[in-house]
Structures are given as structure tokens and as C-alpha cells.
Chain A
């Protein structure tokens, strides 16, 4: 038996209770100091394992465990995390109006960007045709009538009725839409926003729309809440158009 065989035999035979008493192992250890030291170490370990097993304490867990089972389970960190995730999901799904507000904010940002980042050539042309701002802010009961005159004698009139449609009457070669360039856009955006709102709102939102919110005489079309909603949004669109118009003109006046 060589030292490698000795190590293998020692490992295979060692089970913690028999203290390495095989005669061939003892014979080899008698001639090899290294293996003798290893054998002594394993004997010591075997004895230690015996004492170590005996000194392993016991515990009566049955009462505590059965008692704990009768109590409502304490939340583990994993269950708390899962619960929070679930609550967050419910909160997000409940917050569909938040999407509406976010959409409105996004729309406002886009409109602002459109005003700020307008094409330079157009603004230069528009500067030339801008009348004083106070003439263009006359809006009342849904009717709007703007009349702009350009510096070279050309003029444009813009008329919009309560349906929100805008009719530009070009009285010269300068297109009238350039005098209030974002009015139509704002109204269309408001309409799209209204449509988006209808898509986002839950199916039973019609029941939650208060009847007092509907203004104007009832018509055949007012049976659907979508029509009512659209009619509600049109003044909003007009207001937005006026606001953008005002901002645009104010910007032009400041620039000029």
C-alpha cells in the first residue's frame, strides 16, 4: 500500500464511528510518518464527531409550531413585496384619469413646442401681417371674428362658428390661416384629445357622467354621452385655440 492508497482507504472507511482500526492502514502508518500523522488526525476527528453528536442539543418545537400555525401567518419579505406589487398594479389600473391628465399635459407641451419651434420664414411673414393684439382677442359666446390686415394692404378674415369649423376667407394672395396658424390645429387636437379620453375612460363611464353637466337643449344626438362629451369639448378647443393664438401673437409682438 502506498500513501495515495492509504488516503483513499482512509476516506472510504471513515464514517465517524469506526476509528480507523484497519490492520493494513495501521501497518502502513507505522512506516510512514506523514500517513501516521494523518491517521492520528482522523482518530481525533472520529472521537470529536462522537462527542459533537452527543452534545448536539434538542428542542421541543411542536408546541411553538402548532401555535404559530393557528395564528395568522406573519408576512414574509417575499409576500410583502408581492403584495405591494399587486397593490401597485391595482392602483395603476384605478388611475385611468391619470392617463387623461398626462395626455393633456403632453398635448400642452406639444402645442407649446409648435409655437416655439415654428418655421422662421412663416413667422417673418406673419410679423408683417400682425395687427395689434387687442384686436384679435375679441371672442364672445362662441363666435369669433378676426380681421387682420397686413402691412402691404392685404387683409384676411377668419370666421369660426360654434361648430368649431373655421372658414378662412382670403381677401388677397396671403392665406388667412397664417394669421392664426394654430387655431385649427388646436381645435383638432382638442377633438383628438376628446376621442382619446373616450377610449381611456371605462365602459361604464357614461353612467357616471352627471346629467347636469350637459348643457344646451336636448337633441336626438345628445342621447349618447359621447356626443355630449364632444359638445363639452368644443368650447375647450376654442379656448385652447384662443390661448395659442394669444401666445403666438404675444411672442410675435415681443420678437418684433
Chain B
């Protein structure tokens, strides 16, 4: 019996059902089983890459960071506590790497073309897709607000898990999340986005 692939279109190779749960998967990875690690990446790449992409707003950067996250995870798998779920642990690594990457990117002087790609088409006259507009507003948020919003609404983590990732009390996370939503809603209203129209355009 083979391990079911996590995402359609991605095929896990030759893995036994014994590595289907996280602990066994990690043990197989620690034993040096390349196929187990491939399955590990396939299982979590969507969550990790999604977080990186939404935090960094740049596909190539997100791929680099996500790849680095998995390499770091592989290096530190022995430190993972089996009593805790694997996904928040992995997303915590991803969040830290994204923070570091954003700091590095702030210090760098971006080439004009790259800066445009990162910032997105922010010209006021350009009517954007609702999702693009939301991402544009998200890029303008404080880093903590953005991280909490992405972890909650994209990665479906609860407040306690987010609190453990950002190392803050749950109340703080709740406040950050509320402010993030308020700012995003105000931004969407300011931009006079009409959902019906955007749906028709799509």
C-alpha cells in the first residue's frame, strides 16, 4: 500500500504505509530515507510555500526560502518534539526565515524591476483583482499582522498555534488579527472594490 500524495499531481515514490503518520515519517527521514523526506516535503510544501509566498510576495524568493526551510527542518528534525504537531513547527521555521529574508531585503537596494515585482502594481488608477488588491493591502501591513493573518486564514492554524509560532500571548495574536482585518477591510473599501464586478471580470 502506498502513501497517498498530499497534493494532486505530486506522486510519492515507493513509500510504505508505515510512514504515513508524522512520527514515523520523521523517523524514516532521520534514518536517511530519501523517499521519506520526499514525502515529507510533498506533504508540507503547500503550507510552507504558501506562507512564504504570501509573506514575501515574490515567487522566486518564496521558493528559495521554502527550500531553505525544508533543508533546515531536515537538519533539525531530531529536535522536533513528537508530542507537538509537525506543521506548526515547520511553519515556525518558515516564519522565522521569512522575517530574516524581509530584513535582508530591506537592507538591500533592490533593482527597479525586482522592486516592482515585489511591490506589485500599486498605481492608483489600475483596477486590480480582489485577491491582488488584498495581497497589496497585506504587503502594507505590519509584519506581525501579516504573519498572523496568513497563518490564520491561509494555513488554518488556531490562535494557540499562532501564539506559539510568534511567541506571543494569544490575546496579542487576537488583537493583531483584528487590527489586520480592520486595516484590510478599510483598504478594500477605500479602493472601492466591488466584488460583483471583479467576479464578472474573472
Residue ranges of A at the interface with B (Cβ–Cβ < 8 Å): 11, 14, 16, 37-38, 40-45, 47-49, 51-62, 64-66, 68-70, 73
Residue ranges of B at the interface with A (Cβ–Cβ < 8 Å): 7, 10, 34, 37-38, 41-42, 45-46, 48-50, 53-54, 59, 62-63, 66-67, 70-71, 74, 129-131, 133-135, 152-154, 178, 181, 184-186, 188-189, 193, 195, 198
A37–B71 touching, CB < 8 Å: no
**Interchain CA distance A68-B184 in the complex, whole Å:** 38
**Chain B nearest CB: distance from A8 CB in Å?**
9
- The majority secondary structure among interface residues of chain B is helix
B38–A62 touching, CB < 8 Å: yes
B129–A51 touching, CB < 8 Å: yes
Residues of B within 8 A of A66 (CB): 34, 37-38, 41
**Chain B nearest CB: distance from A63 CB in Å?**
8
Excluding A62-B42, A66-B37, 6 further A-B contacts by CB distance (< 8 Å) are A51-B198, A52-B134, A52-B154, A56-B53, A60-B10, A61-B49
**Interchain CA distance A56-B129 in the complex, whole Å:** 13
A14–B34 touching, CB < 8 Å: no
Contact status of A48 and B130, CB under 8 A, knowing A41-B186, A61-B49, A69-B71? yes
A45–B184 touching, CB < 8 Å: yes
**Chain B nearest CB: distance from A74 CB in Å?**
9
**Interchain CA distance A49-B134 in the complex, whole Å:** 8
A59–B63 touching, CB < 8 Å: yes
**Interchain CA distance A68-B71 in the complex, whole Å:** 8
Contact status of A61 and B70, CB under 8 A, knowing A47-B195, A51-B134? yes
Q: Give me 15 A-to-B residue pairs in the complex whose CB atoms sit less than 8 angstroms apart, sorted by A's number.
A: A45-B181, A45-B185, A45-B188, A48-B193, A56-B50, A57-B59, A58-B46, A60-B45, A61-B66, A61-B70, A62-B10, A64-B63, A66-B34, A68-B67, A69-B37
Q: Which of A11, A40, A53, A62 contacts B153 (CB 8 A)?
A: A53
Residues of B within 8 A of A49 (CB): 134, 153
**Chain A nearest CB: distance from B161 CB in Å?**
15
**Interchain CA distance A66-B36 in the complex, whole Å:** 10
Residues of A within 8 A of B62 (CB): 59
**Interchain CA distance A14-B134 in the complex, whole Å:** 16
B34–A58 touching, CB < 8 Å: no
**Interchain CA distance A233-B120 in the complex, whole Å:** 76
